Amino acid sequence: MTKEIVVCKGRRAELWSGIVTLPNGARVRVDRVKFPNSVAVLPLFSDGTVVLLKQYRPAVEDWVLEAPAGVVEPGEDPRSAAVRELEEEAGLKADPNRLILVGEGYVSPGYSTEVMSLFIALNPEESKARPEEHEVIETVKMALPEALAKVRDVKTLLLLYAAKEIVKE
């Protein structure tokens, strides 16, 4: 970007605006959200069940059924963040060696810098949840086909379809 300014700064996100020259030479105004990288992790058990979170999301003013997820803290690697988030939000302890990296990519490259790493945790053990103050969460265990029918969150759908392939094996 030629010149960029911070339009708004929130708890974790910043809205930036500036002028950029595109590869075709056009100069356009670009608004983007600078957001930390993140992880999502789906707990998958040998009986084909998964644990999801029923979480109230103020941005959409609704309850969302989704995989545990959160930001990668400064100096933390995505695998460690996935283990931490799973325990904090769902009360499940994952063995880092039993985490499958499904993939990594931009969440919404049209306006955000966020890159998300997606993991499946095989047979995590019970632990104690430690949700943050702003998290209103219930854990829900269900069969994979039921989860596929109910979930409307895209990152979680991707993880559920990846889990479906693992269960086939």
- For 36-93, what is each residue's pLDDT tens digit? 999 999 999 999 999 999 999 988 999 999 999 999 999 999 999 999 999 999 999 9
Are residues 18 and 29 in contact, defined by beta-carbon separation less than 8 angstroms?
yes
What per-residue confidence (pLDDT) applies to 158? 98
Domain boundaries, the chain: 1-34, 36-168
pLDDT > 80? residue 104: yes
User: What confidence tens digit (pLDDT) does each residue in 140-169 have?
Assistant: 999 999 999 999 999 999 999 999 999 987
Q: How far apart are CA 155 and CA 57, in angstroms?
A: 15
- Distance (Å) of CA 60 to CA 5, 52, 55, 57: 27, 18, 11, 6
- Catalytically active residues are 133
Q: How far apart are CA 43 and CA 72, in angstroms?
A: 18
Q: How far apart are CA 89 and CA 129, in angstroms?
A: 5
Tell me the CATH number for domain 36-168.
3.90.79.10
